[in-house]
Chain A
Amino acid sequence: MGKKINGASIIWESLIQEGVDVVFGYPGGSIIHTYDALTKYKDKIHHVLVRHEQGATHMADGYARASGKVGVVIVTSGPGATNTITGLATAMMDSSPIVCICGQVGTMAIGGDAFQEVDVTGVTLPVTKHNYLVTDIKDLAATIREAFYVARTGRPGPVLVDVPRNVQIAEMEFEYPTDPINLLGYHPPERATAEVVAAASALINQAEKPVILAGHGVLLSGAMKEILDLCTKANIPVTTTLLGISGVPASHPLNIGMMGMHGEAAANHAIQEADLLIACGMRFDDRVTGNLKTYSPNSKKIHIDIDAAELNKNVKVDIGINTDLRTALQQINPSVTAKSHADWFAKIRDWQEDSNERDIINAQTPGFHASQAIRGIWEGTNGKAVVVSDVGQHQMLEAQYYPHDEPRTLLTSGGLGTMGFGLPAAIGASFCVKDKEVWVVVGDGSIQMNIQELGTAVQEKANVKICIINNGYLGMVRQWQQLFYGERYSETPISSPDYLKIAEAYGMPGYRVMKAEDTISTIRQAQAHQGPVLIEFMVEAHDMVYPMVSPGADLHNMIRRPYKQFDNEETF
């Protein structure tokens, strides 16, 4: 007979069994027993005390995206739990595996509007892959195990486990289940059928103007090699989604860059003119398709996705393959024949050349542009950092001006576009990224959404370098107002505190960069310091992100940067 332990200890024991060594959380009345039990497990699990539960979810998310492992959040009931909603929704949209353990009022009090009671499983139902309310200590360990399994398998996503107070207090012998998990209604798909594989490779072999659309699924399924095998074997250009960035090396000659609203013109034109799209682990989001009615009108479409509900959701496809991407490509690649696609590439290279001529980086323009700051960060980090971007113009510019060559080196909130993601996600990533620097690229609006996590960064001595791209505006919204709302800048000018004083107050070094020439030297100073550093880049207020597909417009109808810089921007 083993010794009895309480539910609180079972939570920690179960996490240890799942290989967890760091959790992100915040204590409170309904989870206090679990925090008390933590004192016994301090040598095995490091707890990161956040400043706001939203921060905890983004940290776990950043940790998961950087490592491929499940990130863990621990919070109390009521407001603690509701503060996680944005983070859960962010992880849900971007298929990021996290497990969130919530305290709940005692089972006898549930339903009675007890102090700090919220129907957490009800509230989080649409923003989690699955959730559980554990009402009996006997189910606790098995439920946590199942939560990890569901979070990391199939299409990954956030899973929440709600644990009432009395379940944490009750005692029983702990034994972690070891039998294979077999859920009646959950079976991630396995291999594609031979027929569908043959049909797909036949389409690929016939195509004259094929394009591979590489999404987050490349990274999630670890299909980096397989996708390169496919594109190099048949010389097929690859374009990535925002979350697909770093799944295919940016410097690879077949990688023609990001697609979509702020994608490369060449990539968007290629999609529109293609005769075959091979969509790999992506979901035809409206930000990448533009107007669906005119989207890639002459192409056949192959769509490989582990989530059957993605097939034919937005774009009708000729061949839908509901399998893990890596497995599917391993099945398809052997029957793909070598091709040069020389004419197709000649066309693509023309589009690319035109873009180069327009590029602001290649033009001698006055002022300090956000794009230059980001290109400077790329140079200063040799393109080797894990960059965590926030949401706005700086996010798109990061995607355009910081080419990523290694997998899982760009972490960003794509599907939900959650401002305030960057700093906490980077702190989370710093707990698993050991051989690379972690840099944050964040706007002056976004940093102020979760600026309190600077406290966490300092307390944890997290080695994150925070670059605030300060343009004095909620820039991306300002850009829309400039283009579509008659330049009425309604509530987009935003003031900032003195970030150097903020850095000082939190106890971290801070720098301000006023001109492009000073970027690299400042980066060097930041790199010399172990631990969090803040750098503020004072950039042009009215810069634009080009190209841009207006919301709902045809993908090939991009607003382009004029050849002669600033002709249209001098008016400001």
Chain B
Amino acid sequence: MKQILVAKVEDKPGVLNRVASLFRRRNFNIESLAVGHSEAENISRMTIVTDEVDALRRNVVRANLLKLINVIEVEDVTDLPCVVRETALIKVNADATRRREVMDLAEMYRGRIVDVANETLIVEITGESSKVDSLIDLLNPIGIAEIMRTGKIAMKRGVVTPRNGN
């Protein structure tokens, strides 16, 4: 399983560079990295997916990230209950004769058509990466012109305390 890290970082120039440079320098592989503003001012959140499988090495990756002065918190959520999502935009080569087919597939995957042109459609889909993968597989025979994926974003699930009946 891929390692998923969620990091809180200071929103300052160069921070993304520091994180990316660290992975290159330490010979860890980044599979995807997504970054954006968080709920707090001047703080961004990053979801980093690595292909590290060894538990001790995973800890070293995390410790190295934490060593960066601008990195505030890093949580390894790989084994925690969380929601992991990815969004993709898929441009499909489909003229009027094949539009229906694409729209049906998109609907089955709860995707949306966000652009229609003479020869192409753009499908937007959000879900677990495996879901995105399988829609891509199904669209492939029709003809895919372009794919743009955001990389995974992850968030820990809230805590549900079971009611004990009395």
Q: In the complex, are the beta carbons of A125 and B63 less than 8 A apart?
A: no
Q: Measured between C-beta atoms, what is the minimum distance from A406 to chain B in Å? A: 32
Give every chain A residue within 8 A of B118 (Cβ-Cβ): none
Contact with A along B4-44 (1 / 0, CB 8 A): 00000110011001100100010000000000000000000
Closest beta carbon of chain A to B15's beta carbon, Å: 10
Given contacts A121-B14, A125-B17, A185-B9, contact A313 B60 (CB under 8 A): yes
Stretch at the interface among A66-74, A304-312, A531-539: A304-312
Known: A308-B63, A308-B66, A309-B60. A184 touches B17 (CB 8 A): no
Min Cβ gap B12→A in Å is 10
Neighbour of A309 across the interface among B13, B67, B71, CB < 8 A? B67
Q: Which residue of A lies closest to B21 (CB)?
A: A125
Please state if B67 and A312 are interface contacts (CB–CB under 8 Å).
Answer: no
Asked if B71 contacts A185 (CB within 8 A), the reply is yes
Query: Cα distance A308–B14 when bound, in Å?
Result: 24
Question: A150 near B: Cβ within 8 Å?
Answer: yes
Q: Which residues of A contact B56 (CB under 8 A)?
A: 312, 316
Q: Which of B14, B18, B63, B69 contacts A183 (CB 8 A)?
A: B69
Q: Convert B58-81 into 0s and 1s, putting 1 for each residue whose CB lies closer than 8 angstroms to a CB of A.
A: 011001101111111100000000
**Nearest chain-B residue to A317 (Cβ)?**
B56
User: Contacts A311-B63, A312-B59 known; A185 to B69 CB distance under 8 Å?
Assistant: yes
Contact status A185-B17, CB under 8 Å: no
The minimal Cβ–Cβ distance linking A188 to chain B, given in whole angstroms, is 11
Cβ A186 vs Cβ B63 within 8 A: no
Chain B positions within 8 Å of A126 at CB level: 21, 25
- A170 vs B9: C-alpha distance in the bound complex, in angstroms? 31
- Taking the closest CB of chain B, its distance from the CB of A304, in whole angstroms, is 15
* Contact status B14-A185, CB under 8 Å: no
Residues of A contacting B21 in the complex (Cβ-Cβ under 8 angstroms): 125-126
B63 touches A150 (CB 8 A): no
Residues of B within 8 A of A233 (CB): none
User: What's the interface size class on A, roughly?
Assistant: 10 to 19
Q: How distant is the Cα of A90 from the Cα of B13 in the complex, in angstroms?
A: 26
Is A52 on the interface with B (CB-CB < 8 A)?
no
A/B pair count, beta carbons within 8 Å:
43
Chain A residue numbers with a CB within 8 Å of B59 are 311-312
The residues of A that contact B69 with a CB separation of less than 8 Å are 129-130, 150, 183, 185-186
The answer to whether the Cβ of A112 comes within 8 Å of any Cβ in the partner chain is no
Interface set, chain A 169-189, CB cutoff 8 A to B? 183-186
Q: Is A366 an interface residue (CB 8 A)?
A: no
A298-335 contacts to B (CB < 8 Å) = 307-309, 311-313, 316
Q: Does A2 contact B (CB under 8 A)?
A: no
A122 at the interface (CB under 8 A from B): yes
Known contacts: A184-B10, A185-B10, A316-B56. The answer to whether A307 contacts B67 by CB under 8 A is yes
Chain B min CB distance to A104 (Å): 14
Give 1 or 0 for each of A181-214: 1 = CB within 8 Å of chain B CB: 0011110000000000000000000000000000
Distance between Cα atoms of A125 and B73 in the complex (Å): 20
> Considering only CB atoms, which chain A residue lies closest to B71 in the complex?
A185
Distance A129 CA – B63 CA, assembled complex (angstroms): 14
Q: Give Cα A308–Cα B13 distance, bound, in whole angstroms.
A: 26
Bound: A299/B49 CA distance, A: 35
Neighbouring B residues of A311 by C-beta, 8 Å: 59-60, 63
Assess the A122–B17 pair: CB atoms within 8 A: yes
Known contacts A125-B17, A125-B18, A308-B63; A185/B70 CB under 8 A: yes
Question: In the assembly, what is the distance between CA of A150 and CA of B10, in Å?
Answer: 16
The chain A residue sitting closest to B55, CB to CB, is: A312
A516-543 to B contact mask, C-beta < 8 Å, 1/0: 0000000000000000000000000000
Q: Shortest Cβ distance from B62 into chain A, in angstroms?
A: 9
Least Cβ distance of B13 to chain A in Å?
A: 8
- Interchain CA distance A130-B21 in the complex, whole Å: 13
Shortest CB distance A495–B (Å) = 38
In chain B, what residue has the closest Cβ to A150? B69
Show the binding face of B for A, using Cβ within 8 Å. 9-10, 13-14, 17-18, 21, 25, 56, 59-60, 63-64, 66-73
Q: Which 6 A-B pairs have the closest CB atoms?
A: A309-B63, A308-B63, A185-B72, A312-B56, A130-B69, A309-B64
- Can you name 15 extra interface pairs (CB under 8 A) apart from A126-B25, A185-B66, A309-B64? A125-B17, A125-B18, A129-B69, A184-B10, A184-B72, A185-B10, A185-B68, A185-B69, A186-B69, A308-B67, A309-B63, A309-B67, A311-B59, A311-B63, A313-B60
Between-chain CB contacts (< 8 Å), 24 pairs? A121-B14, A125-B17, A125-B18, A126-B21, A126-B25, A133-B13, A150-B69, A183-B69, A184-B10, A185-B66, A185-B69, A185-B72, A185-B73, A307-B67, A308-B66, A309-B60, A309-B63, A309-B66, A309-B67, A311-B59, A311-B60, A312-B56, A312-B59, A312-B60
Q: Which residues of A contact B (CB under 8 A)?
A: 121-122, 125-126, 129-130, 133, 150, 183-186, 307-309, 311-313, 316
